[in-house]
Amino acid sequence: MIRLVSPNKVVAHAPIIRWIILQIDSTCAHHPNNMPSAYNNPTDVVGDVLAAAFLHYPVMDFAFQGESEAEQARKLQIMFRFCANAARLYGGSAFTEEKDGALLWLPGSKVPLGLWRELRAGVAALPFQIGLRQVCRLMAHDVDVMQNILDRANMKQMGLIWLVGVEPTSQGKGYCRILMERAMTEMRTQGMTEFWLTTNTESNVKIYERLGFHVMDERVIKSSGLTDWVMRKLDVPEAR
């Protein structure tokens, strides 16, 4: 079942966030006609926004090394549509009204996705669509990164901000903050009290620190040679 939840609070000069809160429901999970027509295909929208936002992101340049910008963009679009479909089935996603910012999240109970969930979401087809070498590079990097989180997180209370990106021309407008705050609000309604993310860029670390995240670990990932920061935000109970 797909529920659309409008924000309860309007932020001045901020984009309207369209939520796709996703719950597994076998009666409609595989029926595209159940999608609200006004959204066309939200999975494609979210995937395409993330593809534009992550073009030339460090780990993507590593994975698609030697390929043209156009080819990287094409393959990122394929990959992130699969990721968005996985979030549709097992977590949640959001994108801005202008379709220039998007976010995917997963509950700790679905991290990592595992083979069966990847098969259901279509992720297992990626090697045939973007290349085996590229997938192996991404997996080698991500396995180390995710294990770093799994070793530290309380999986029953964890919410993973899997991917969040804003297109370069729209950065600096507060879209990332709004997307993340709305995602964490939804995760809280499902009982999650600690929120985790990773990044490969130091400039992003500063952004996330302003949102209340703290660096839990900083290390160079052996397979990619990239520095990765693991960050966490804990919900603090309000004093009574």
Q: Domain limits of the chain?
A: 2-26+37-234
Phi, psi of 7 (to 5 degrees): -60, 140
Q: Which residues pair with 234 in a beta bridge?
A: 194
Residue 40: its pLDDT value, please? 52
pLDDT at 76: 98
Q: Are 2 and 20 in contact (CB under 8 A)?
A: yes
Q: In what order do the strands lie in the sheet with 158-166?
A: 2-3, 17-22, 92-96, 101-107, 158-166, 194-199, 227-234, 214-220
Cα–Cα distance list, 62 to 72, 84, 95, 181 (Å): 11, 22, 26, 30
> Average pLDDT of each block of 10 consecutive residues along the chain (240 residues)?
27 37 29 35 91 96 97 97 95 91 96 88 92 96 93 95 93 92 95 96 95 97 96 75
Query: What pLDDT does 169 receive?
Result: 85
> Do 17 and 182 form a contact (C-beta atoms < 8 A)?
yes
Fold held by 2-26+37-234: Aminopeptidase (3.40.630)
Quote the pLDDT of residue 224.
Answer: 96
User: In the prediction, which pLDDT does 41 show?
Assistant: 74
Q: CB-based burial of residue 99 (10 Å sphere; 0-12 exposed, 13-18 middle, 19+ buried)?
A: middle
Compute the distance between CA of residue 32 and CA of residue 41 in angstroms, rounded to an integer: 8
Distance, CA of 217 to CA of 124 (rounded, Å): 30
CA atoms within 13 A on the CB side of 47: 21
| pLDDT, position 116 | 87
- Asked if 91 and 107 count as a contact pair (C-beta separation under 8 A), the reply is yes
Query: Nearest to residue 88, comparing CAs of 113, 60, 59?
Result: 113
